[in-house]
Amino acid sequence: MSNNSKIDLDTLKKLGKLSRIPIDETGSNELMEDLNKIIGFIEQLNEVDTESVNPLSSVTGHNLPIREDVVDDGNKNNDVLENAPEKKSGYFVVPKVIE
Amino acid sequence: MSNLLQFSISEALALLEKKEFSTKELVETYINAIEKTKDLNMYLTTCFDQALEQAKISDQNYLNGNQRFLEGIPLGVKDMFCTKGIETTASSKILKKFIPTYESTVTQNLWKEGAINLGKLSCDEFAMGSSNETAAKGEVINPWNFEEKRTPGGSSGGSAAAVAAKAALAATGTDTGGSIRQPAAFCGVVGLKPTYGRCSRWGIVAFASSLDQAGPITRNVSDAALMLQVMSGYDPKDSTSSNKDVPNFYNDLGKSIKGIKIGIPEEYNSDGISSDILNAKDMTINFLKENGAEIIPVKLPLTKYSLPVYYIVAPAEASSNLARYDGVRYGARIDGNSLDEMYENTRNLGFGDEVKRRIMIGTYVLSSGYYDAYYLKAQKVRRLIKNEFNEIFKQVDYLVTPTTPTTAFKLGSTQDLLTMYLNDVFTVPASLAGIPGISLPIKLDKNKLPVGIQILGKDFDEQGLLNVAKVIESCASFKDTPNGAAS
Amino acid sequence: MTNADQNSNYISGKTGDWEIVIGLEIHAQVLSSSKLFSGASTEFGKDPNHNVSLVDAAMPGMLPVINQTCIKQAIKSGIALNAEINKYSVFDRKNYFYADLPQGYQISQYKYPIVGEGSLKITDANGEDKVIGIERIHLEQDAGKSLHDQHPSKSFIDLNRTGVALMEIVSKPDLRSPEEAASYVKKIRTVLRYIETCDGNMEQGSLRADCNVSVRKPNGDLGTRCEIKNLNSIKFISQAIQYEAERQVEILENGGVIDQETRLFDTSTGETRSMRSKEDAHDYRYFPDPDLLPLELSDSQISEIRSDMPELPDQLVERLISEYGITKYDANVIAEEKEYVHYYENSAKNRDGKLVVNWMTSELFGLLKKNNVQFNQNPISPNYLNELVELIENKTISGKIAKDVFEIMFATSKSPKMIVKEKGLEQVTDDSAIEVFVDQVINENKDKVKEYLSGKDKLFGFFVGQVMKVSQGKANPGLVNKILKSKLK
């Protein structure tokens, strides 16, 4: 586990990009401080020996439930589009994406 | 007519059946109560017209002798539950004006049994918080010593406050790291987090998928049993839903606790924990002893690692669960010149600071280079924590702990992030392990604020939990009411 | 493969030869009625946002539940590709933002896919076999569709395809030429269509490929690769690979360096270009989806599927070769589609398999292509093809006449026996009848006979032609030859 991992402005900007939350330069110091506090706090897990421990995948203890291949959903265009901030001719509308 | 607000669910059901009063009268009384307590800022949306319409149906059912299990019972619903046709915002600006075309399974279960929706209750934004201070529409004020403007706890602060203030006969909450139990303790009411998988998560705004659980917040233990019975059950639309049979929680209440083993974990302590809280714990231990339970001190050494595990796992899952709030299909949208700009503008203005912090941390601990060190590590420690509980439950049947390290603090008083997180120190371990937990009020502290005690049990042993809680409740005889209550 | 063949795949540059190294990631839409994690229909061509459930639209509180048929289809595909079926697999979230990805993540499989290593044999144009390694197959959700060209500043999103099950089939980087890549894709498509786990319809997008291309000096270290995304036809796949390999060679020959990047293929220019939106950090932050549990399969589940498997193309090819005596090349052509196989086997009953296969692959396919008719609209029933070949085998008609009859069969769907009868096309095999024709031709062309007898051997063909003309094509060519030879002395 990485000790002294710290979030700097560069990392913060990358995180902002990945989560589509813009980093406001003015507030970024406080945010970095807060995040680094949390990182510092969670570092204590280093103290726990987890050699040969399987990560917990689920607390439930049951198997993945499966469903039969039948069409029992969809066909509700109105519900799907009901809350759309912008829609047209049955489509969702967004600012254009140029690839 | 006597004050209708005084009756618990079980009492109200009996009286409604006897036609001592009508559902219409009951609902109207609660509507007035909500009006009276509106300065506590508990409700985000009310649906009084619909409630009165439902009341008519309930009264008809009572007339015909067709009354359902919770016929006519007026409830408040935490705004994390999607309610059909009623604005659901998760207390966030980003879901402003979102009107679901569907009803969550848990609330549907309640309406199917005749319960009535009074409205949506405030909570911390996206259920992230322990004080209800991050709600987009502002803080909720704890009805206890309301002039002191204290927190009701969080994230189900609105729900707990409403039950305490008698602005709802009961309420639904969600608990991810303590969000039902902690506010229940701060508000002097009963709050139950069932075993993970006991209640369906379908239609509940997801915060941390492997931790979220719906549960009841009520005035007393019997009411919690009634609510839980209706809320629980297998849902094929939720892959994490358990298909274990739902016991008749209410009917089977009242079993003797003679000979049961109660573990008292020494780690559930904190620096500066008030003597009142420690005293409440001792009182509880005595109640249990008096009723024939065996008290056994136990050790759960991994307890202190629960919070760091939680603050890795929960934000990680949240960072992914909240990616869908992008202004495309529902909720608020703030335009931009490009798709990415639109995403950024929408999410920047739509999310509050705490939500943003958690998304950032979550993104960080999952990012390449850090995944093994943080997320994977946390899930491994989580397994050890679960194993530790499994082992302890071979020695004892239940654990008794304080619910919170403090009583309700003043709004705005917690400036430090980590201090805020520490509010959950006693509730988080059970969330990580998926085991059920209940909090109930024992006494008031020197500031006349309620102190809650938590009981934890094995997976799917909510019945046992309720039984033990019932015994403690009758011994504690907590009868105080907050000065901010409607009556 | 011989060294010569290997070398023919090289690109030769100023500094020497370059070897192309190709790996393909094929995305195959699973044949199922409903989607991978939702009960909405997978049917193609519906109104926008019609086949969309609230789960697909990622409304708040929605949760995935897995479709058992999709699991089965993936296992079947793994078995057909000689692959290891993993009894334990996990669904992970692949997190990124895009308008056609409502959840903000795709449910896929990262560390623990449902199918492990396998292999697929391909045959090149020379009939040489090569085994291509398969790295893994996993299940994942397809994304929706965006229309970018309907409006100057807006894009339109249709989520019908969102959540449809895809199998991602990842090859090892064993392919060495655009032709091999094309062969590989064709074969995968054939296999999946055989076992009915994917319809392989590339125009509709049910099968598409991402190509990873790099170049290196023969036996050198692997070069930096570029990924060309979303190729949806075999032709584009080989074109794109060819262009990309040459582009890379040119850069390297001029001392440059290849940037590892994702590129798109421009079908109008035949070139690959860099994607404008540079996702410089492709950090997908994979983690196990907490709304699901690991998938655990039992041995009996897997063996039940295994025992139910239909005949696979490779087995079929062997059988066609041994049962019908046709060449491996022809067997591969027939084996490409199950419907070809059914047709062939029906039309070849009791017939000379080699003859039938020629009629099918040259004549029939030729006519279908020329007239732009799909095979499933084929107007010639297998029984009638069988009949036609029978007429040839028993010498009722000659091969040449048969071609005419065939064209009429194609146009009218009539039985060849009837056509031959109606048009009186029976071949003349009576020696004396033919002698009459030959005598007539010899008499009418005395000067040419003189020329032939004085050494102009080439004129023999002329006489044959004349006899055929005079007999209206009905004289048996073999007999004509024999009788002409004996008379032209």
Residues of chain B with Cβ-Cβ distance to A95 below 8 Å are 335-339, 341-342
Pairwise CB contact (< 8 Å): B88 & C60 = yes
Q: Does residue B252 sit in the same domain as residue B313?
A: no
What does the pLDDT look like over C370-417, one tens digit per residue?
999 999 999 999 999 999 999 999 888 888 889 999 999 999 999 999
Assign B447 a pLDDT band (cuts: 50, 70, 90): very high
Q: Does residue B188 sit in the same domain as residue B320?
A: no
- The sign one gets for the Cα dihedral C412, C417, C423, C425 is positive
Determine the distance in angstroms separating the CA of C366 from the nearest CA of chain B, rounded to an integer. Answer: 49
For C312, residues 6+ apart whose C-beta sits below 8 A from its C-beta are: C80, C191, C194, C195
User: Using an 8 Å Cβ cutoff, are C276 and C266 in contact?
Assistant: no
Instruction: With respect to residue B72, please indicate whether it lies within any of the assigned structural domains.
Output: yes
End-to-end CA distance of chain C: 53
Domain boundary among C273, C288, C305: C305
C-alpha C165/C-alpha C141 separation (Å) is 5
Determine the distance in angstroms separating the CA of C40 from the nearest CA of chain B, rounded to an integer. Answer: 13
Q: What is the pTM of this model?
A: 0.91
What does the pLDDT look like over B220-242, one tens digit per residue?
999 999 999 999 999 999 999 99
Determine the distance in angstroms separating the CA of C7 from the nearest CA of chain A, rounded to an integer. Answer: 37
C-alpha B105/C-alpha C162 separation (Å) is 24
Instruction: With respect to residue B296, please indicate whether it lies within any of the assigned structural domains.
Output: no
Q: Phi and psi at residue C389, in whole multiples of 5°?
A: -65, -35
How does the average pLDDT of chain C come out, rounded? 92
CATH number of the domain that residue C446 is part of: 1.10.10.410
Q: Does residue C131 sit in the same domain as residue C169?
A: yes
CA B273 to chain centre: 23
Decide if pLDDT at A1 tops 50.
no
What's the mean pLDDT in A13-17? 94
What's the mean pLDDT in B428-432? 98
Residues of chain B with Cβ-Cβ distance to A12 below 8 Å are 360
Q: Does residue C449 sit in the same domain as residue C406?
A: no
What's the mean pLDDT in C233-239? 95
Partner-chain residue, chosen from A65, A80, A98, that has the shortest CB–CB distance to C49: A80
Range of the domain at C109: 6-305
Q: Does residue C388 sit in the same domain as residue C482?
A: no
Residue A99's pLDDT is: 62
User: Known catalytic residue: B78?
Assistant: yes
Instruction: With respect to residue B424, please indicate whether it lies within any of the assigned structural domains.
Output: no
CATH number of the domain that residue B62 is part of: 3.90.1300.10
Instruction: With respect to residue C254, please indicate whether it lies within any of the assigned structural domains.
Output: yes
Q: Is C285 on the interface with B (CB under 8 A)?
A: yes
Q: What helix, strand, coil percent values describe chain B, rounded to 5?
A: 45, 15, 45
Domain boundary among B378, B394, B411: B378
Decide if pLDDT at B452 tops 60.
yes
Domain boundary among B326, B358, B378: B378
Range of the domain at B66: 2-258
Residue B239's pLDDT is: 98
Instruction: With respect to residue B326, please indicate whether it lies within any of the assigned structural domains.
Output: yes
> Which residue did the predictor score with more confidence, C328 or B128?
B128
Instruction: With respect to residue C324, please indicate whether it lies within any of the assigned structural domains.
Output: yes
C-alpha C70/C-alpha B305 separation (Å) is 40
Instruction: With respect to residue C182, please indicate whether it lies within any of the assigned structural domains.
Output: yes
Q: Does residue C442 sit in the same domain as residue C414?
A: no
DSSP state string for C436-456: HHHHHHHHHTHHHHHHHHTT-
What does the pLDDT look like over C327-346, one tens digit per residue?
988 998 999 888 999 999 99
Q: Does residue B252 sit in the same domain as residue B316?
A: no
Q: Does residue C418 sit in the same domain as residue C439?
A: no
Pairwise CB contact (< 8 Å): A18 & C283 = yes
Pairwise CB contact (< 8 Å): A93 & C156 = yes
Burial label, C471 (beta-carbon count in 10 A; 0-12, 13-18, 19+): buried
User: Known catalytic residue: B255?
Assistant: no
Partner-chain residue, chosen from C97, C291, C292, that has the shortest CB–CB distance to B323: C97
What does the pLDDT look like over C427-482, one tens digit per residue?
777 888 888 888 998 899 889 888 888 888 888 888 889 998 888 888 888 888 99
Domain boundary among C423, C441, C468: C423
Pairwise CB contact (< 8 Å): C55 & A68 = no
Q: Does residue C266 sit in the same domain as residue C317?
A: no
What's the mean pLDDT in B37-42? 97
Q: Can you name the residues that pair with B116 across neighbouring β-strands?
A: B74
Residue B151's pLDDT is: 97
Instruction: With respect to residue C113, please indicate whether it lies within any of the assigned structural domains.
Output: yes
Total tally of structural domains belonging to chain C: 3
User: Using an 8 Å Cβ cutoff, are C76 and C305 in contact?
Assistant: yes
Of these residues, B8, B91, B159, B179, which one is catalytic?
B179
Q: Does residue B196 sit in the same domain as residue B254?
A: yes
Q: Phi and psi at residue C26, in whole multiples of 5°?
A: -100, 130
Enter the tokens of residue C92: 């992970």
C-alpha B437/C-alpha B428 separation (Å) is 10
Q: Does residue C458 sit in the same domain as residue C388?
A: no
Burial label, B391 (beta-carbon count in 10 A; 0-12, 13-18, 19+): exposed
A neighbours by CB contacts (3+ pairs under 8 Å)? B, C
What does the pLDDT look like over C65-79, one tens digit per residue?
999 999 999 999 999
Q: Which A-chain residues 42-71 have CB contacts (< 8 A) with chain B?
A: 42-45, 47-48, 50, 53-62, 64-65, 67
Decide if pLDDT at B214 tops 90.
yes
What does the pLDDT look like over C255-277, one tens digit per residue?
999 988 889 999 999 999 988 55
Percent of chain B with pLDDT over 90: 95
Residues of chain C with Cβ-Cβ distance to A72 below 8 Å are 34, 39
Decide if pLDDT at C6 tops 60.
no
Q: Does residue B59 sit in the same domain as residue B186?
A: yes
Q: Does residue B99 sit in the same domain as residue B176?
A: yes
Pairwise CB contact (< 8 Å): B240 & C291 = yes
Residues of chain A with Cβ-Cβ distance to C152 below 8 Å are 96
Domain boundary among C305, C324, C357: C305
Q: Phi and psi at residue C18, in whole multiples of 5°?
A: -125, 140
Instruction: With respect to residue C1, please indicate whether it lies within any of the assigned structural domains.
Output: no
Give the helix ranges, DSSP H, for B129-234. Answer: 157-164, 181-187, 221-231
Domain boundary among B362, B378, B394: B378
Residues of chain A with Cβ-Cβ distance to B365 below 8 Å are 42
Partner-chain residue, chosen from B206, B236, B330, that has the shortest CB–CB distance to C65: B236
Pairwise CB contact (< 8 Å): B343 & C97 = yes
Determine the distance in angstroms separating the CA of B12 from the nearest CA of chain A, rounded to an integer. Answer: 36
Q: What is the ipTM, given to two decimal places?
A: 0.96
Instruction: With respect to residue B280, please indicate whether it lies within any of the assigned structural domains.
Output: no
Which of A15, A57, A80 would you mutate first to test chain C, the one with the most C CBs within 10 A?
A80
Instruction: With respect to residue B397, please indicate whether it lies within any of the assigned structural domains.
Output: no
Chain C residue nearest residue A63, CA to CA: C293
Half-sphere exposure (CA, 13 Å, Cβ side) for C40?
Answer: 27
Burial label, B366 (beta-carbon count in 10 A; 0-12, 13-18, 19+): buried
Q: Which C-chain residues 248-287 have CB contacts (< 8 A) with chain A?
A: 264, 275-277, 281, 283, 285
User: Using an 8 Å Cβ cutoff, are C488 and C456 in contact?
Assistant: no
How does the average pLDDT of chain B come out, rounded? 96
Pairwise CB contact (< 8 Å): C290 & B375 = no
Residues of chain C with Cβ-Cβ distance to B322 below 8 Å are 104
What does the pLDDT look like over B304-329, one tens digit per residue?
999 999 999 999 999 999 999 999 99
Q: With CA atoms as reference, report the closest residue to C179 among C133, C137, C228, C128.
A: C128
Pairwise CB contact (< 8 Å): A91 & C264 = no
Residue C430's pLDDT is: 81
Assign C7 a pLDDT band (cuts: 50, 70, 90): low
What does the pLDDT look like over C341-362, one tens digit per residue?
999 999 999 999 999 999 999 9
Instruction: With respect to residue C119, please indicate whether it lies within any of the assigned structural domains.
Output: yes
Pairwise CB contact (< 8 Å): B367 & C59 = no
Q: Does residue B173 sit in the same domain as residue B96?
A: yes
Decide if pLDDT at C38 tops 50.
yes
Decide if pLDDT at C279 tops 70.
no
Instruction: With respect to residue C120, please indicate whether it lies within any of the assigned structural domains.
Output: yes
Q: Does residue C219 sit in the same domain as residue C325?
A: no
Instruction: With respect to residue B295, please indicate whether it lies within any of the assigned structural domains.
Output: no
Percent of chain C with pLDDT over 90: 72
C-alpha B135/C-alpha B326 separation (Å) is 19
Assign B50 a pLDDT band (cuts: 50, 70, 90): very high
Residues of chain A with Cβ-Cβ distance to C47 below 8 Å are 77, 90
Total tally of structural domains belonging to chain B: 2
Partner-chain residue, chosen from B319, B326, B367, that has the shortest CB–CB distance to C283: B367
Q: With CA atoms as reference, report the closest residue to B455 among B184, B136, B250, B152.
A: B184
Residue A2's pLDDT is: 45
Q: Does residue C285 sit in the same domain as residue C335?
A: no
Instruction: With respect to residue B485, please indicate whether it lies within any of the assigned structural domains.
Output: no
Q: Is A44 helix (H, G, I), strand (E, B) or coil?
A: helix
Q: Does residue C298 sit in the same domain as residue C344?
A: no
Q: Does residue C316 sit in the same domain as residue C187?
A: no
Q: Which C-chain residues 75-134 have CB contacts (< 8 A) with chain B?
A: 93, 95, 97, 99, 102-105
Q: Does residue C296 sit in the same domain as residue C326?
A: no
Residue A13's pLDDT is: 93
Assign C12 a pLDDT band (cuts: 50, 70, 90): confident
Which of C32, C42, C52, C278 would you mutate first to test chain A, the one with the most A CBs within 10 A?
C52
